[in-house]
Structure 1
């Protein structure tokens, strides 16, 4: 076959055929030489080939993920605060009654509540007599034996101190009962308040109301607001604590609609410590 008689298409096909045969021959020779080459040379050639492939290969697309932290506000309703305050206060509130060894044994008088870690209780002065001996039945069924040892200046508040008890009864403060905490802020008109009263069934009467008015009472210090007018105070919770929605004591119920403020309570407690 005379190559000069080939047309353009035939020349191209012939060129491709020769290139293909040459490539196959080159591959065969290369493989043969690699098999016969020393180990160091083979390793170098392999490394060069791998680096070449890495540079030619396109890089994968990287997608950056941005995580943004969003603070979600926790909304606490007044109802939830009230329920929490009731759970906090109830264990320290008990039923006040005449001592079981007295002539008036078991007579229910009202409510008293644990005021400090020394085991002192507070109640309304109208419920007890000076040096009188009484019992306070706690929510847990525990009985505290107490004696009246102090009254506030105006007689609104009485302090009952622990005394030695008999078998099954105790005057020692229980580590499981936490004394009530006095409020840290001033009482304000319109403030939501909760009053507590103990019952013979071992549970509590709870009343929720607002502070309607604040004024100075006869037993107060000059210029001090000590009397609270509130619809939370009732005949069922005389002697019981009046607390804010944080469970802190801001007063003590004296009679329906009336409670004494925390300043009288604080000064009375301070006088025995």
Structure 2
């Protein structure tokens, strides 16, 4: 009987019937999967949950049919792949800041922090602690200047623009060598106010080359206001570097925090990107 009914269907009706059966099968599979996941050991579900499945639908017109066929292909994107891409995305957005003390044979270069590239024209934000003054035996301030070590090994002089006392952020402008463009990429900033507890984050630091540490958002300090804006981000792992200015990014490579200002001595705590951007704007306004 079923065979007779099938024979009486047109090609278009057969296609629609196949789609309906596929849809019903997908729902049944989903229900069974959820049931199995609920009964599975916790370690197994954690592993599975770290795999992100993206389903892409494509409409493919059939030459001999009036109806279009919808095909599905599943692309598996592992969290490890996302982390690698996020780190690579910021390779040219992170610099090492050196403080040059003294002159002549008493010149000394000291690595003092990590800087984050704010704009293509060379604005670089760093922890205000890099500005710490050194004094000689007579109590006189030792002359100083600053350098930025770029990702490709190039070195650029830094011109100090200003400091935001409220956030503990300093701002510099990189001076490109003669007839040479700065090989830098401005960081893309995420909205720290949209961070969620348990969200995967990556800290990027390191004294010479990038060193990273992955963890999750363990706590969010928020203002007691209707918008509940974030004032501090806590992670479950210490920063990847002892240097101030270590950068915190999400899995899409957006910068959502920096270990600076009041948090420079707490290596699992970060100043949110929203406050960093506000600090940069205040410094730029004050320097005009």
TM-score by length of 2: 0.60
User: Closer, same or farther in 2 for the Cα pair 1:248/1:190, shift >3 Å?
Assistant: same
Count of aligned pairs between the two proteins: 200
CA contact (8 A) 1:196 1:205 kept: yes
Pick aligned residue for 2:187 from 165, 180, 203: 180
Q: Show the counterpart of 2:121.
A: 118
1:167-226, Cα deviation, whole Å (9 max, x unpaired): xx469862x4211011046122211111111323xx211111111111159xxxx96422
SS in 2 for 1:270: helix
Query: What's the CA shift for 1:140?
Result: 0.3
5 Å-filtered alignment, 1:130-149, equals 133-149=145-161
**In the TM superposition, what whole-angstrom CA distance separates every residue of 1:119-155 from its partner, at most 9, and x where no partner exists?**
1111112222489631110110111211332223424
Matched, 1:214 2:220: yes
Unaligned ranges ≥5, structure 1: 1-62
Runs of 4+ in structure 1 displaced over 6 angstroms?
A: 63-67
Preserved CA contact (<8 Å) 1:196 1:237: no
**What is the aligned counterpart of 1:199 among 194, 198, 207?**
207
Instruction: Give the TM-score normalised by structure 1.
Output: 0.63
Partner Cα distance (1:75, 1:154) in 2: 44
State the SS of the aligned residue for 1:74. strand
CA positional deviation for 1:265: 0.8
1:242 equivalenced with 2:216 (yes/no): no
| Structure 2 match to 1:77 | 78
C-alpha contact (below 8 Å) 1:226/1:262 kept by paired residues: no
Rg larger in 1 or in 2? Answer: 1
Q: Which protein has the bigger strand share? A: 2
**Alpha carbons 1:94, 1:198 under 8 Å: kept:** no
Q: Retained in 1: the 8 A contact 2:148–2:174? A: no
